[in-house]
Amino acid sequence: MPEYCFFKKGDHVNALERNDTEGAACLRDWGYTKQSEELKAANTHCALAHFHDIRNEEQAREHEFSTGAAFLALIVGVLAVVDWFFL
């Protein structure tokens, strides 16, 4: 299975085989930035699908972390107000 690297410009992502240095140079010239992920996949379509799955999971994890922290801060605030009223 070939190993793929990814290049991103805005919302558009391209996958290239890792040994395609000419294609990588061309994408960099067009303003694409190389992403840190490198994956083994059967073809380009599977590599891109797996890349998007990884990115969506990262975004979901970040969202869960931020909303969890906000919820915890709200609970602590409510408990502080309730404690102040009853003590």
Closest by CA to 5, choosing from 24, 26, 31, is 24
Give me 13's structure tokens. Answer: 């992502």
b/e map 64-80, b = 16+ CB within 10 Å: eeeeeeeeeeeeeeeee
Give me 55's structure tokens. Answer: 């990115």
Residues in the chain: 87
CB hemisphere CA count around 57 (13 angstroms): 6
pLDDT over 90 at 34, yes or no:
yes
- Find the distance separating the first CA and the last CA of the chain, reported in whole Å: 67
Range of the domain at 34: 3-86
pLDDT at site 84 = 82
pLDDT at site 3 = 94
Number of domains comprising the chain: 1
* Lowest-pLDDT choice from 21-25, 29-33, 47-51, 78-82: 78-82
Give me 3's structure tokens. Answer: 């190993």
